[in-house]
Chain A
Amino acid sequence: MTAALELRGLCKSYPLREPGGWLPRYRQLPVVRDVDLTVERNSIVGLVGESGSGKTTTGMMALRLTQPTAGSVFVGGVDITSMDAAALKPFRARMQVVFQDSYSALDPMFTLAQIVAEPLHIHGLGTTREQTKTALDWLERVGLHRSYGSRYPHELSGGQRQRVAIARALVLRPDVLIADEPTSALDVSVKAQIINLLQDLQAEMGLSILFISHDLSVVRSLTDKVAVMFNGRIVEEAATEDIFTSAQHPYTRSLLQAIPVLNPRDRKDRVFRSREELEADIPRLSAADTGLTPANVPRLIPHGPGHRFEAIVQ
């Protein structure tokens, strides 16, 4: 069976103006380089990395909200990379997104029922009356009373707004959900509620979720597989428990080392390696960076079933 979402050789670079000179000169700044990632059906894949590592850009390219510079995006086995808007529309319904900041993601002039019904309206599914009923059903399903349908986003707490964003994303019954740091802005007790809601809906609907996060504890509780991004590349990928128990790449290890302890008894003095030390230890990114020959450019090499990490193969 084809994967729900497959990214192949995905790249994105932005033009960066060189300083000085009369005429503007630009060079290409790569932010995502050669990303291969598969989200299998009915699974949750975590995409982790520091800010600036390219994880959000990868998610936006998967949704075709950002156009890739190179590479392809397959949704259910169909290449959507260069489809025009009309051809893309049915695929838009099959992949949806939930963002970190639920406040700016919801239109303040719409009621919650209108917000959740809008995707149905755009895709012309059912009469207005049916759309409203479906929207209210969904509000209930994500744990909000039907009477909330006539309220506005500003009347809700952060956790409630995130529930509305989830309802809006799932009302079209998509195959793929891209969740970009959906719990980062939430309080601890509410965070657990939203994570459980995502787990339940994923299981009920057989949904495939790409969960973008920098919170490794959440990723451990929620995902089946983890891909670690660093400087625009996936540097390690494995089943979630393998990442946490037998990480191979130096960057993955430094991430794991930084997770706060769960009990003060386990406090330890950590020895941090500076960015320079870390980068010196990590295979460089392109032949141009270090004068690597094509033969020893770093590649993802396998390390046990489903586990691969970036290294230089001589």
Chain B
Amino acid sequence: MSASPVTPLVDIRDLSVSFPQHDGVVQAVRGVTLHVDTGESLGIVGESGSGKSVSCMAVLRLLRSPPARIEATALSLGGVDMIAADKRQIADMRGRVAAMIFQDPMTAFDPVFTIGQQIVETIRVHRAVSKAEARSEAQALLTRVEIRNPASILDSFPHQLSGGMLQRSMIAMALSCRPQILFADEPTTALDVTVQAQILQLIKQLQAEFGMGLVMVTHDLGVVAETVDRVVVMYGGKVMEQAPVQDIFDTPAHPYTRALLASMPGQGGGRQRLTEIPGASPNPANPPTGCPFHPRCTVADTRCTAAMPPLQGNGLDRQAACWRLT
């Protein structure tokens, strides 16, 4: 971990999240350490079940606990210990310090209130302003997220808007209290290609303009290539590699990162077979011993099945967890 002089905006150390089931325990996150500095953008890449979303939800305390069991040596957001925080503190952090947008904007909005009512409510929960002031601020925010007719969108219900418009409104709502960090969990997966590119560009612009931190959770390396400064690659509830974004694409160290990059379609012209990763993601209720990737890894040996390799530095700002690197 690069020692930063100031407390990072997000500081997660050795986070474990598990969900007891009737027939065992699902270990969604197994010892994740990561941090986000002020104004930095971090991409968390992984497949479904890698623990990327659960890690973010744990920081925001969005997991109902119980059933979730959350353990960590540190879990802080904007300098506040989120494990020790009580309900009021947590509610105060959400929206004001950190905001989150989700994959499906349709289910993230309440269908029985207008977009305007929901943004105004968010503003007034955190700040002592009148309804009229909050409404004009909401309208300004909608304009900022490039909605052309903000006044009529404020009075629209969620079902009246397209997915792209809703995601823009969601971003406006997330930004309404000027958070220091925005968590975006697959914000463009449900959108059309052209709309996806527009939303990603908008998020990037707003991040620079507001000087916000950004955590982009995605399974799409293309989204990562477009938006973030630094990347954490997760697999089977663990961090496999973390590095500046250009290094991830130029010199991926971990076999999983390399395989993931090789499997991206659309490289080179012409019809061709893709480089696939054989096998399937590990079962979180019964993860393999040692490195979670070893059953699918082409270079795995006995060390990999025996024990999980530690995340160790391999160059400036870079870390990877693989026995084959040493």
A contacts, CB < 8 Å to B: 44, 50-51, 157, 159-160, 187-193, 195-196, 199, 214-218, 220-224, 240-241, 244-245, 254-255, 257-267, 269-270, 272, 274
Q: Provided the pairs A189-B277, A222-B271 are in contact, do residues A260 and B220 lie with their beta carbons within 8 angstroms?
A: yes
B299 in the interface (beta carbon within 8 A): no
B222/A262 in contact, CB under 8 A: yes
A222 to B270, CA, bound (A): 8
Q: Is A196 within 8 A of B193, CB to CB?
A: no
Of the listed residues A218, A241, A261, A263, the one surrounded by the most CB atoms of chain B closer than 10 A to its CB is: A263
By the criterion of a CB under 8 Å from any partner CB, how many residues of chain B are at the interface? Answer: 44
How far does the alpha carbon of A115 sit from the alpha carbon of B324 in the complex, in Å? 43
Which 10 residue pairs spanning A and B have beta carbons closest together? A260-B222, A217-B266, A258-B197, A189-B277, A192-B274, A187-B47, A192-B276, A192-B263, A50-B192, A221-B265
Set of chain B residues within 8 Å of A188, measured between Cβ atoms = 47, 219-221, 260, 263-264
Report the nearest B residue to A218, measured CB to CB: B265
Q: Which residue of B lies closest to A261 (CB)?
A: B225
Candidates A160, A187, A221, A258; contact of B193 at CB < 8 Å: A258
Interchain CA distance A10-B265 in the complex, whole Å: 31
Q: When chains A and B are docked, how far (Å) is the Cα of A261 from the Cα of B222?
A: 6
Q: Give Cα distance in the complex from A248 to B125, angstroms.
A: 51
**Contact of B269 with A258 in the complex, beta carbons under 8 Å:** no
- A189/B263 in contact, CB under 8 A: yes
Please indicate which of the listed interface residues B259, B266, B278 has the most CB atoms of chain A within 10 Å of its own CB. B266
Q: How far is the CB of B304 from chain A (nearest CB, A)?
A: 18
* A191 contacts across to B, CB distance below 8 A: 263, 265
Identity of the chain A residue whose Cβ is nearest the Cβ of B201 in the assembled complex: A270
| B193 lies within 8 A of A255 (CB) | yes
Most A C-beta atoms less than 10 A away, residue of B47, B263, B270: B263
Tell whether, in the assembled complex, residue A259 and residue B264 are in contact, meaning their CB atoms are under 8 Å apart: no
**Residues of A close to B267: CB separation below 8 A:** 221, 262
Minimal beta-carbon separation of B2 from chain A (angstroms):
20
Task: State whether A192 touches B280 (Cβ < 8 A).
Answer: no
- Report chain B residues within 8 Å CB of A214: 192-193
The answer to whether B225 and A189 have CB atoms under 8 Å apart is no
Q: Given that A216-B266, A264-B249 are known contacts, is A187 also in contact with B281, CB under 8 Å in the complex?
A: yes
List 10 interface pairs A-B (beta carbons < 8 Å), by A numbering.
Answer: A50-B195, A187-B281, A188-B264, A189-B276, A189-B296, A192-B274, A199-B273, A222-B271, A240-B271, A259-B266
Query: CA separation between A195 and B275, bound complex, in Å?
Result: 10
- The answer for the CA separation of A191 and B266 in the assembled complex, in Å, is 13
List the A side residues contacting B280 at CB < 8 Å.
Answer: 157, 159-160, 190
B194 and A50 form a contact (CB under 8 A): yes
Given that A50-B193, A157-B280, A188-B220 are known contacts, is A220 also in contact with B263, CB under 8 Å in the complex? no
Measured in the bound complex, the distance between the Cα atoms of B221 and A187 in whole Å is 11
Q: Establish whether residues A269 and B201, one from each chain, have CB atoms under 8 Å apart when the complex forms.
A: yes
A176 to B250, CA, bound (A): 41
CB distance from A223 to the nearest CB of B (A): 7
Q: Does B223 contact A (CB under 8 A)?
A: yes
With A192-B275, A214-B192, A221-B271 given, is the CB distance from A260 to B225 under 8 Å? Answer: yes
Interchain CB contact under 8 A, B225 and A193: no
B133 at the interface (CB under 8 A from A): no
Contact assessment for A157 and B281 in the assembled complex, using a CB-CB cutoff below 8 Å: yes
Identify which of B47, B194, B226 contacts A254 (C-beta below 8 A).
Answer: B194
B246 interface residue per 8 A CB criterion: yes
Q: A103 → chain B, closest Cβ, in Å?
A: 13
B278→A193 contact, CB < 8 A: yes
New A-B pairs, 11, CB < 8 Å, besides A240-B271, A265-B246: A187-B219, A188-B260, A189-B260, A215-B265, A216-B266, A241-B269, A255-B194, A258-B197, A260-B220, A260-B226, A267-B225
